[in-house]
Structure 1
Amino acid sequence: MRIWEDEDKFKEECGVFGIFAKEALDVSTLTYYGLYALQHRGQESAGIAVSDFSNIQCHKDMGLVANVFNEENLRAMTGSIAIGHVRYSTTGASNVTNAQPIIGRYKLGNIAVAHNGNLVNADVIRELLEDCGCIFQTSIDSEVILNLIARGAKRGMERAIVDAIQAVKGSYAIVLLTEDKLIGVRDPNGIRPLCIGRIDDSYIICSESCALDAVGAEFVRDVDPGEIVIIDKEGISSISFAERIRPETCAFEYIYFARPDSVIDGINVYTSRIEAGKQLFKESPVDADIVIGVPDSGMQAAMGYAKASGIPYDNGFIKNKYVARTFIAPSQELRERAVAVKLNPLKVNVEGKRVVLIDDSIVRGTTSRKLVDSLRRAGALEVHFRSASPVVKYPCYFGIDTPYRKELIGAQQDIENIREDIGADSLAYLSMEGLLAALGGKNKFCLGCFNGVYPVAAPMETPKEYLEK
């Protein structure tokens, strides 16, 4: 069970990291540190696969990066190419069988894959592949990609990857490891982030630029939507496998998922959250004594709101940083007694004050209600709730573990009813226009969870002709 402060959030997807070393670099350890920087994207399992140009070794297990790996198992994986993965399960059960990277053996050698995202037509392709005799070891959609590539390997690795990727629909940021290549792939809409970095003549492909900073790498560029990047001993090359489509990066990468110190598609995550807070004040001002943010992803928007309003910003909650996802959740009796496990209001800052409380989003509303109640018990005179994202009305099909629409409070109630439900004195959301302004003023994002308009329809049918090639 998860602590209540976590149960009302969209859950992270996954993080991927890959490195091709031309010089003498410890690729397994560098991948470890890269994954450590991406830990926020998934905490259920972690894994690393390493190639020495003839064999691929892999170690993976359930748990956090620091628990899965140690000096001994990292030293055992030697080579010049590595990929790694941290997982939050959005498809398939949460068990070690479904942990990534996944390794497959095909006619020309071995291949490993690590995938962030979700394929909306994976079930259709899996069924067709099974009808053709393929055997699946896992229940995740990443293995579908692996089998499609292996099936077409006789046409050459690059051609096999292009054919496989053109058969799948959905979101994906993928790193692939063959015995002599590191390959990165980003879906045609660019829904999930993927970027390229370098250390001298060695290249890195990973989910967020914060992982490049963690290993001392220089940011080169983002992988373009619909691009396959191939890195080998000859250097780096690229294939565009899709027609130029308007990019639609997931807006929630900026609102909640990504680390504030990352830059995604030219937009600084920290700055975008500050701007969201400023826009929120422009749209929904309130007379108050203090602005506070919900740790951690509501903090930057709260700072922006405070800057724009002139209302002092301060800490409103103290977070217990030692509580992990495996912490024993309180019993119902203890929950009813309002036991504060992860967040505790800082009474000295909120008592006797009119408080503006800012969070990145409201999903089910259960956390918002408890936060407001805890501030009132700490002596807050008024609590004005502000959401740094528009109203969440629709689920996501592209690699985020979202609740059903019936569980989304924004889909079931109007704003006044939500305000009454969470017990706030006032409630306001950032508008869609305000969000886009915070993200640079261009409409190049997936906003499906707000407006129900998705870049790819779900589910998708896959033509059987592809599998008969």
Structure 2
Amino acid sequence: MCGIIALILANRQGVAAAELFEGLSLLQHRGQDAAGIVTCGQRGRLYQCKANGMVRDVFDAQQLVQLVGSLGVGHVRYPTAGSSSHSEAQPFYVNSPYGIVFAHNGNLVNAHELRQFLDKEAHRHVNTDSDSELLLNIFANNLQQTGKIRINEEDIFTAIEQLYQTCHGGYACVAMIAGYGIVGFRDPNGIRPIVYGRRRASHAALPDHAPDGPSDMAYDYMFASESVALDALGFTDVVDVRPGEAVIITRAGIHKRQLVTDRVFAPCIFEYVYFARPDTILDGVSVYNARLAMGEALADQIVRVLGPENDIDVVIPVPDTSRVSALQLSYKLRLPYREGFIKNRYIGRTFIMPGQTMRRKNVRRKLNAMAMEFAGKNVLLVDDSIVRGTTSQEIVQMARDVGAKKVYFASAAPAIRYANVYGIDMPSPHELVAYNRNEREIAEAIGADHVIFQALPDLVAACNRFNPALKQFDTSVFDGHYVAGDVSAEYLRMLDSTRNDDEKMKRDASAPETIGLHNHFGK
């Protein structure tokens, strides 16, 4: 999972970099592996800074000052495919045609075929293993077929429509065309999220004699993976890019077009379970309200499994994502809610850390159990989901170490048993704790007295009750049904062989650093 952002200011003399930096900081939860910003100054000159690390580590005041320009694109990354080398930090750039900068969240399921096409037919060089670079080059190649010195909106819509026909998977993308404007689009099923909004320009547009000509814009515009980034920066009228829709924003105005209409709308339900911030609204659904509803439904499931007269003494969330669900669950079950784990906020998300050993160590560094809330009690731990089981096992053991009598473990999501192919770097299915295990066997694996999972229909109902127009979600990690219908058994076998922890560690250890791609270009 990654976070993407793009900004165009009405004032040509404005500085986009500072707000792109703030926006990326608000999307940091979506990726901690790398961060990058590319801006566009006068006459189409581009400026870049990107590297491995958190947003606060990659950028400082001096670097932001050097990112000149009133429009730009930013990205925070965790690796979905390929290694975590510096060369795969985004945004990516191609100079031909027109100078295009590109950032992407998601995953392509036909990357191998696209790579062969770009090599053998389009003759475009691809420098990394990232499917984001494939999307960029497909887009660039489509634009190049116009043969024009200057392009217009119709050319861009045509290029994206052709991209939809050839690129299969889940993706949300932002692009910047040097000296022209920014573009946002979303896969035809709407699996990955992207929103945009506007803000009344703080400064008047430049007069007609300005170096780059006049601006007709009265508003600044921003694309982002989540609405929270726009809210914090004062953008309003926030709407979702629709599945199969492209939105082009230039200083002449905003242009949008629905390019694909025959696909089912099925956003990824795991955004609501785990990835998105609770103060985000995606596709008309408040993530906070959805998690409250998940807690209510999970309370009913606990009564069905453990009975109304169970022996639970206290409900304790696994911070932070499960807090909202756990609080509503405790309210409905009329059980005390307590904060039993204190979190070190300077440790990253263990879900997206490489290697079992690293994840296991960081659970203990990240959380500290307070004995007074556990000693002599039967505790119900509530988490958003259980993936590998590594974190869950450590947390259960921590509860027992400080004196818990019984440890029940409840998941606000169903059991995860299948690979994710649309942009979440789930492990190999064989590394999922629920793979080929029932609830009793999962409880034994993580050391709990009992495990309770949310029922899938209840999870779906918890989300679409706030937007009945959402008839379907991508729930493939729970049921193995891939909504785009583009996943072969051969692809899943390939994924299984490349996503296991051993292979990832080997790739990262052997990946050479690419020289010369990380400086500010345009200097």
- The reply to whether residue 458 of structure 1 matches residue 520 of structure 2 is no
Contact 2:364 2:394 in 1 (8 A): no
What TM-score results when the alignment is normalised by the length of structure 1?
0.90
> C-alpha deviations, 1:280-312, integer Å up to 9, x for none?
011212432211110111211111111111101
Query: What's the counterpart of residue 172 of structure 1?
Result: 171
SS in 2 for 1:446: coil
Contact 1:169 1:460 in 2 (8 A): no
SS in 2 for 1:253: helix
> C-alpha deviations, 1:368-387, integer Å up to 9, x for none?
22211211111112211111
- Report the AA paired with residue 192 of structure 1: R
- Report the AA paired with residue 380 of structure 1: A
2:253 and 2:82 map into 1 onto residues whose CA distance is 36
Question: CA offset at residue 146 of structure 1?
Answer: 1.7
Q: How large is the Cα RMSD of the aligned pairs?
A: 2.3
Contact 1:369 1:423 in 2 (8 A): yes
> C-alpha deviations, 1:115-167, integer Å up to 9, x for none?
00001111111112111222112221111122222222242333223222321
- The reply to whether residue 149 of structure 1 matches residue 178 of structure 2 is no
Query: What's the counterpart of residue 369 of structure 1?
Result: 393
Gaps of 5+ in 2: 147-154, 201-218, 304-309, 491-523
1:368 and 1:409 map into 2 onto residues whose CA distance is 10
Aligned match of 2:476 in 423, 448, 453? Answer: 448
Query: What's the counterpart of residue 91 of structure 1?
Result: 81
Question: CA offset at residue 459 of structure 1?
Answer: 4.7
Query: What's the counterpart of residue 34 of structure 1?
Result: 23
- Report the AA paired with residue 199 of structure 1: R
1:303 and 1:233 map into 2 onto residues whose CA distance is 46
- Report the AA paired with residue 248 of structure 2: I
Aligned counterparts, 1:42-441, within 5 A:
42-52=31-41, 53-107=43-97, 109-132=98-121, 133-153=123-143, 154-155=145-146, 156-179=155-178, 180-200=180-200, 201-285=219-303, 286-324=310-348, 340-441=364-465
What TM-score results when the alignment is normalised by the length of structure 2?
0.81
Question: CA offset at residue 453 of structure 1?
Answer: 0.4
Question: CA offset at residue 246 of structure 1?
Answer: 2.2
Q: 1:219 to 1:459 in 2, by over 3 A?
A: farther
2:78 and 2:49 map into 1 onto residues whose CA distance is 17
Q: 1:227 to 1:303 in 2, by over 3 A?
A: same
Q: 1:460 to 1:207 in 2, by over 3 A?
A: farther
- Report the AA paired with residue 455 of structure 1: V
> C-alpha deviations, 1:246-278, integer Å up to 9, x for none?
211111000001111111111111111121111
2:187 and 2:260 map into 1 onto residues whose CA distance is 9
Query: What's the counterpart of residue 464 of structure 1?
Result: none
SS in 1 for 2:119: helix
Deviating beyond 6 angstroms after TM superposition, the runs of 4 or more aligned structure 1 residues are 328-332
Q: 1:165 to 1:59 in 2, by over 3 A?
A: farther
Contact 1:117 1:173 in 2 (8 A): yes
- Report the AA paired with residue 439 of structure 2: I
Query: What's the counterpart of residue 495 of structure 2?
Result: none
2:31 and 2:242 map into 1 onto residues whose CA distance is 23
Aligned residue pair count: 444
SS in 2 for 1:78: coil
> C-alpha deviations, 1:216-256, integer Å up to 9, x for none?
22242111011000000121111211124221111100000
Contact 2:363 2:391 in 1 (8 A): no
2:344 and 2:69 map into 1 onto residues whose CA distance is 39
- Report the AA paired with residue 184 of structure 2: G
